[in-house]
Amino acid sequence: MIHLSLTTKFNEQLFDVNFMNFTDTISSIHHHLEVAEDELTGWLKLPMNMTIDDLNAIQFLSEEIKENADVLVVIGIGGSFLGAKAVREALSPNFTKNQNGIEVLFVGHNLSGSYMKHLIESLHHRDFYVNVISKSGATLETSVAFRILRQYSVERYGQNAKQRVIVTTDPENGLLREIAIAQGFRRLDIPSNIGGRYSLLTPVGLLPISVAGINITEILQGACQAAIDLEVDDIEKNEAYRYALLRYKLYSHGYQVELLASFEPRLSYIHEWWKQLFGESEGKDKKGLFPASVNYSTDLHSLGQFIQEGNPLLFETFLHFNNISEDYYIPFNRVDDDDLNYLSHRSLNEINAISKQGTVLAHAQGGVPIIQIELEKLDAFHIGYLIYFFMKACAISAYLIDVNPFNQPGVEAYKSKISDLLNLESIVNLVAE
């Protein structure tokens, strides 16, 4: 389902990866993932274990929201919002984000007062539901946004407000779970054995995606097919393992940055989700590739020069869908005053694909190693497949450099410092009063 290749025009021997040299290492990691019960590996079997009842419960709630609201406000940060936004952006028309559903807005991923003010103002004459997503319920950005939206919901709907609040959280522990029980909010569970950045295929992502009018059954079917395809303990047949090994080979030869590149603007938030997935999973113990992204052809006119001839610290991973259903053709102009008639009656997608080929050739010739990931079609099935592919490859990649893919001690560090400073500021203000 995924075609993977490496393109380079220099030092071919260096990048002639002999996958068979890694057979034992990959087998050991593969076995560890399959049997690990003390780590957050529940996402591995999730697509195959999702029951009809689980799916129906999400879809039933989605239909209720669409029937009774104009907007779903999703409150969350990191893995609690990036995945849903990425899928919605990738599978919705560029200028109409609610073609088959209702508008889905995101908040709680920043601390901007103007952003919140504008969001509240946008809801004044529209009906809305709130879906707050947090495993712990103690993330500052999410908690602050939820407090504001809870109060605004009561102002708008009074005692009926609790019917319009959906809490997605840990089924057994956490402050948000306690709030939901005390206030009578309906709850959806984030499985205890799945961490935030691996949670896109749980209710964390599936409810907002469904409300946006996207077929979550097809998303899960694609992920399920990927889980089956990528379960094989064979480097020659498992493309996720091959991708992980290519990244590892380049990293071990001094490359510091992986640049995810695509030629479709709707994929920009897929890039953002991918950056969190790999950044939080690999970036520990002073190790790991720095995940960055570009969206072409736009960024060819800003970063293209650096990529072509700048500091040789990066390699590119091109993400490409061979078939995008929407397209537009260049018209014939009898005057031809712009000298473009040689392109008339050719489609923009066709020209875009040629631009991608030319960029790959130019960058490779300039010394930039290129990994290419190709999928057949930009649709729900293949996006589901890609999500699972990246998650599986990410776990393997982290283990190859001997770090735990499922924790994030650095995140906890800055959360603690922010909390300390806010508490100190509160004490100072209290004394001053």
Q: What is the pLDDT of residue 269?
A: 97
Distant-in-sequence contacts of 114-119, Cβ < 8 A, 24+ apart: 116/145, 116/148, 119/73
Reported as a single tens digit per residue, the pLDDT across 349-360 is 999 999 999 999
29/46 same-domain check: no
Q: What is the pLDDT of residue 12?
A: 43
351/267 same-domain check: yes
Q: Which residues of 297-328 are buried (b: 16+ CB within 10 A; e: fewer)?
A: eeebeebbeebeeeeeebbbbbbbbeebeeee
Reported as a single tens digit per residue, the pLDDT across 17-75 is 677 788 889 889 988 888 876 679 999 999 999 989 999 999 999 999 999 999 999 99
- Is residue 348 pLDDT above 80, yes or no? yes
Domain boundary among 187, 214, 241: 214
Domain with 282 in it: what CATH number? 3.40.50.10490
Strand partners, 323: 377
Q: Is residue 428 part of a domain?
A: no
203/237 same-domain check: no
250/141 same-domain check: no
195/93 same-domain check: yes
Bridge-based pairing state of the strands 165-169 and 186-189: parallel
Residues acting as catalytic residues: 280, 415
299/154 same-domain check: no
Q: Name the residue with higher pLDDT: 51 or 186.
A: 186
Q: Is residue 336 part of a domain?
A: yes
Range of the domain at 395: 2-33+221-409
Q: How confident is the model at residue 13 (pLDDT cuts 50, 70, 90)?
A: very low
Q: Is residue 418 part of a domain?
A: no
Q: Is residue 429 part of a domain?
A: no
Total count of residues recorded for the chain: 433
**What is the separation of C-alpha 138 from the centre of its chain, rounded to a whole number of angstroms?**
22
Quote the pTM value.
0.93
Q: Is residue 312 part of a domain?
A: yes
Task: Compute the distance between CA of residue 226 and CA of residue 35 in angstroms, rounded to an integer.
Answer: 19
21/93 same-domain check: no
Provide, rounded to the nearest whole percent, the portion of the chain with pLDDT above 90: 80
Q: What is the pLDDT of residue 218?
A: 97
228/368 same-domain check: yes
59/202 same-domain check: yes
In this prediction, residues 173-177 reach a mean pLDDT of: 93
Q: What is the DSSP letter of 264?
A: -
Nearest C-alpha neighbor of 29 from the set 308, 408, 395: 395
394/280 same-domain check: yes
Q: What is the pLDDT of residue 19?
A: 73
Q: What is the pLDDT of residue 432?
A: 53
Domain boundary among 214, 235, 270: 214
- Is residue 429 pLDDT above 60, yes or no? no
Task: Compute the distance between CA of residue 353 and CA of residue 378 in angstroms, rounded to an integer.
Answer: 14
Domain total for the chain?
2
Q: How confident is the model at residue 186 (pLDDT cuts 50, 70, 90)?
A: very high
Reported as a single tens digit per residue, the pLDDT across 298-343 is 999 999 999 999 999 999 999 999 999 899 999 999 999 999 999 9
The amino acid present at 17, given as its one-letter code, is: V
160/237 same-domain check: no
